[in-house]
Structure 1
């Protein structure tokens, strides 16, 4: 029961954080490219990479990793925005979004794991 509560609490902070990041970043760009979601997902991957290295309890991981990072990052919005770009005829941006999101997300998580491991491991 405590683990579920931790996930809920983390998500209650992560979801609004994602929305605020998305709006703050996207409002600064005229492009169709979904910069807000891209940034929120990248930050989430980076943070999750760090969290996986730290010796945290199951409850803290439920709060921070599953709850917060799970709500901060959003695969469904990434997928929707990629499809939207295709429908709007911006196929190049759709491919760029898909490739860059996956590549940068994996790179962010990998770098975070490496750096956190060097600092805390």
Structure 2
């Protein structure tokens, strides 16, 4: 039974990840996709919906949309080019915007529910 649930979870996450990966491929701005993904994750995770929908939209869609590896590559490129101030600015900016976006999504979902 547990194996079936794991396979089902994998399938549900994949359903959300595929369209999100295509969207991510079309948007060439790491900051924008991470802000959108963080907002949606905060929103979806705060809704009283079934776990399967949270797997599809939260883990699958938002997880595939946001890009830690792309952000990390961008930071390494900034260091290699000698843009140290821009490196620190980007490092702090994306974390602050991400946290702020999750919080806004969370509070908006709570307002809609109540």
TM-score for both structures, normalised by structure 1? 0.84
Distance 2:83 2:22 in 1: 28
**Which is greater in Rg?**
2
Deviations 1:27-60 (A, max 9, x none): xxxxxxxxx0010001000000100111121111
Distance 1:93 1:77 in 2: 16
Q: Which runs of 4+ in 1 moved over 6 A?
A: none
Partner of 2:109: 116
Partner of 1:11: 17
CA RMSD of aligned residues (A): 1.0
Distance 1:56 1:46 in 2: 17
Distance 1:89 1:14 in 2: 33
1:32-71 to 2 correspondences below 5 Å: 36-71=29-64
Partner of 1:76: 69
Q: 1:106 aligns with which of 76, 99, 103?
A: 99
Partner of 2:86: 93
Gaps of 5+ in 1: 23-35
Partner of 1:20: 26
Question: How many residues are paired up?
Answer: 108
TM-score for both structures, normalised by structure 2? 0.89
